Structures are given as structure tokens and as C-alpha cells.
Copies of this chain bind each other. A is one copy, B any other.
């Protein structure tokens, strides 16, 4: 009987992850991955979620980690299965989500020999991972076994490090893959159930002289602006306190988590489409927290002619406009709190008053127009969800149009949480990401996506009805790729519909039905929120399909921007 080293290795890794507080494990079926799959299933600290499609497994894991901040384990067998993780690993890398991607592998002697399901998995995801390690094949040399716990602990530490992100463990399991009967004990851990290594990261504290100089510049600035993009949601109170003492408006993307207070401007995209407004409100200083805004109009307005400071805690250099001349590589909360302490008490600049007044006018014009339409409008659905969801809810938003509609139409609203795959902005893996969020979120989870993101990850629906999750998928169904109708491609005489519109004709209600997920179609604007509320009350997963028309959608967006421009011109005495 062979000593059961596979099981010992796997159980040791899993115990160490359990000590580190990892609770979610997403497993795709496979033979080579058996030792780790069994160890995860046998450990009561873990919830094991099973997936047929490894791509969906990885995005589900990403969703749990994005919503909880805790790393999730995702496991697959060897071969192309490992490559199926690649899209989610990239999103985790750019979106800074902790993920422990575990690919099972054959032992080295079987590689590059034509053995089944065998590819070169070493560093398969290149530089997208924070750390790569090959673990196993397990042997009984004491220094080799002594590495098992430290490796597991390091995987967690690297995943939740600064910045968080994915790690890749290539786990080598020789046959036999099931327990042999000759049990080898789990390697002993630290006393008291503590992790093998407890990592204490440093605070990235700004230097006093840098804070002083910036505080002085802020105090001098009468026309400053705070810009908050995704990633700012880790620092909401510090941003708001700073904006108050600076007397500046906050242009807050909903994904910043900061579109919630009175000093926030939520209509900046529509406002900045009005050339006179954009020119009159040029800031003399910008402090950006988090990523750039999604809005292209706003981002281009913040060009290199404006003095712009970015707080780049993670060294990510997020500045596609190459507009910023100053980077503060420190913790945003520490910098903003230090600035707030140095500045005089609350002030209200004329610029802030003008921004907030314009925002009030724009919001009122938008609301009036949106409320006048009976048929569902994509922007209105985004707005109504933000207004109508209960406190404590999480809204998961798909890339492409929904994330833009949210930015364009969502008013300030406290008590909600917004999540999206904004690291790489793919539409792939959306359904699974949402389900992953739902599996760990405390309040209700609702998603806003389009038909393409829903279809792209329709495999996320496999088994969804049996996962015990309460989640509502609101799907804006315009039968194709709505974003292209906004782009210059829409003017192409030939090929537009086939290459970009890509109508598919799939009945999404029927598709959900095949997977046992209840679904309904809502044709009237005012029925959308009641349908979502009913679905939330019923519990379980639900799909609410809202049919829209791509051409009309573009026309209505343009009408909305025109309404804001018109209202602004009237109010400003134009």
C-alpha cells in the first residue's frame, strides 16, 4: 500500500487556508484534482461550490472574493481546464481581487510526453498573478513537508497583499489519486489554530512635507474637484471629510461607493457634455481617489492642462490620459485624513455651489424625462434600481452599457453597494460573478446586465437553481450588442448588424427556464422595480428580462443629454 501523501498534502493546505479564514472553494470536476477536492469537501470550514465549466467556477470565486474581500479557492483538473481560469485571473489581477487559483497537474515525468490533458501549466497566467508556486509531488523529505504550510500561508498573504490579486498554485498529484488507505498525518500546524505565518503589512503613510504642500495647494484652490472612481470604496469617510473641508464637489462614479452624499455630483457626464459648462467649471486642482471615471467625456475633460493629483496606493499608474503630474503612493485614507486635519474647518466654495446647483437642475431634467416614458429605457432601469433597492442591497453591474448607464443616470443614494468587473471590463463570467457575490453578500443581491453578458456566461446558470442563493438578474435585452450603436461603427453602411449588432434571437426567459430559474419579462417601465421586489420577496434566483430596442435606446440617451443641456441653458440664463 502506498503512503497517502497526496491526501496529506491536500489536507495540510486546506487546514492552513481554513486557519487563514478562507471559506469559499469552487471546484470543477476532474480526476487529477481529486486529492484537493476531497480535502476541501471534508473540511467543515469550507463551502464547496461545484461547477461544470471552469470559466464559471473561476468567476464565481472572483465574485465571492470581490464581495467579501476574502480570498477564494478555485480548483480544476489539468489541461485546457487550467486555461479556462485565465479570463477570471486577469480580472482578479487588474481588479485587485484575492484569488487562489489551483490547477492540478501531472507529475513532471509525464509532462511533454503526450500524456492526456497535459500542457505546460508552469506560469500559465504569466505576470497576471501576484505569485506562482509549484507544489508537490509530495514526498516525505522533512524539508519538503515542512514547506506545505508556509506555502499555503504565503498563497493567502500574497492574494490579500498590497495590492490584492490572484495567485496560482500548480498542484502536482501523482497516482493513485484517491486515498490509498495508508494515511499519512497532516503536517502539524501552529498552536491554537493560528496560521503558519501571520503577515503584517506596513501602512503606506504619506510624508509630512508632501501632505503640507498638498494641503496648502488645496487651501489655495477655489475650484478644486475630487474625482472618485472604483477602488475609492475602501476610503469613503476619508474622502467625504476631505471634500467637506476643501469645499469641493465630488464627482463620484457609482462604483466608487461614494455617490451617496450631498456634496456629490452625480450628473457630471451630462453636464460636461455641455461645452459652456465644461469650460466654465474647469478645475484648478483635482485630487483623484481610485480609478478614473468610466465617463469618457469627464475623463477627457480632465486633461493634462489641469493640475491633477492621483492617490496611487497600489502603484497601478491608472491614468490613460497621462494627465496626472503628481502621484501620492500612499494609503488614501491616511493622506486624506492628514489633509483634513491640516485644513481649516468646513468651507463652501462658489464653485461647489455652482456644481451642486447644476447637478440639481440636471437631475430634475433627467427625472422628468425618464418618468415621461412608459416603455422601459435602459438608463431608467439603472436609475430606478438605485432608487428602489432596499438598504443593504448590492447591485452588481455588467461591463459595456450597464456600467455606463449606472454612471449616467444613478442619483446619489446611501445604503447600497455597487460591484462590477472593472479590472479589465470584460462581459465574460458575469452570471457567475453575480452568483458568487450572492453567495457571500449579507443583503439582497441584484444584477444589471445586458443580454450579451447574460448569454456569454449562460453556463453560470448550470446548477444555479440548486445553490440556495437569493439573487435577481435584471437583463436589459436589446437582442445584441447595444454599445456599438453609440460608437462610430453604427455609421458603417455594411456589416454593422452582422459584425457589431449581433442579434441572437434567444428567448432569455426560456433559457432561464431550461436551467430551472424562474424568469419573467417586463414590458412597462414602472413594472420593473415591482418585479424585482417580488423576485426578492420570493427568494431564490430570478431573471427579470426587460426588452429594449437598440436604436431607440441611443435616441433616448441623446434626448436625455439634450434635456440636461436645455435645462442648464435655461437656468443659467443662456
Residues of chain A having any CB pair with chain B under 8 Å = 27, 29, 31, 34, 37-38, 41-42, 48, 50, 52-55, 79-81, 83-84, 86-87, 89-91, 93-94, 109-110, 112-120, 123-124, 126-128, 176-178, 291-292, 316-320, 322, 424-426, 428-429, 452, 455-456, 458-459, 462-463, 481, 483-484, 487-489, 491-492, 494-495, 498-500, 502, 504-507, 510-511, 513-516
Contact = CB atoms under 8 A, between A and B. Distances in A.
B119 A424 contact: yes
Given A41-B494, A86-B86, A114 B176 contact: no
Contacts of A426: 79-81, 117
A79 B89 CA distance: 12
A83 B86 contact: yes
Given A83-B86, A87-B83, A499-B50, A119 B128 contact: yes
Q: Which of A27, A114, A452, A456 has the most C-beta atoms of chain B within 10 angstroms of its own C-beta?
A: A114
Nearest to A34: B489
Contacts of A516: 505
A320 B499 contact: no
A456 B457 CA distance: 11
7 contacts: A29-B502, A52-B456, A53-B455, A80-B87, A80-B91, A114-B319, A462-B504
A83 to B, nearest CB: 4
A38 B499 contact: yes
A425 B29 contact: no
A28 to B, nearest CB: 9
A532 B86 CA distance: 37
B80 A488 contact: no
A17 to B, nearest CB: 18
Contacts of A113: 317-320, 322
**Number of copies of this chain in the oligomer?**
2
Contacts of A455: 52-53, 459, 462
Contacts of A89: 83
Contact of A504 (B52, B291, B425): B52
A379 to B, nearest CB: 20
Contacts of A27: 499
Q: Which of A42, A50, A86 has the most chain B CB atoms closer than 10 A to its own CB?
A: A86
Nearest to A500: B29
A50 B120 CA distance: 30
A499 B87 contact: no
A492 B38 contact: yes
A408 to B, nearest CB: 16
B120 A126 contact: yes
Nearest to A41: B495
A455 B461 CA distance: 11
B452 A80 contact: no
A29 B80 contact: no
Contact of A84 (B320, B428, B491): B428
A500 to B, nearest CB: 6
Contacts of A424: 79-80, 117-119
Given A34-B500, A53-B456, 10 more contacts: A41-B494, A54-B428, A79-B424, A114-B316, A114-B317, A114-B320, A176-B488, A455-B462, A456-B459, A507-B514
Contacts of A452: 52
Contact of A119 (B83, B94, B292, B483): B94
A123 B124 CA distance: 11
Contacts of A176: 488
A29 B499 contact: yes
A394 to B, nearest CB: 22
A318 B513 CA distance: 45
Contacts of A80: 86-87, 90-91, 424, 426, 428-429
Contact of A317 (B52, B112, B459): B112
Given A31-B484, A90-B119, A506-B515, A41 B498 contact: yes
A108 to B, nearest CB: 12
Nearest to A231: B114
A456 B28 CA distance: 11
A41 B117 contact: no
Contact of A90 (B53, B83, B93): B83
Q: Which A-B residue pairs are the 5 nearest by beta carbons?
A: A114-B318, A80-B426, A115-B320, A83-B86, A80-B87
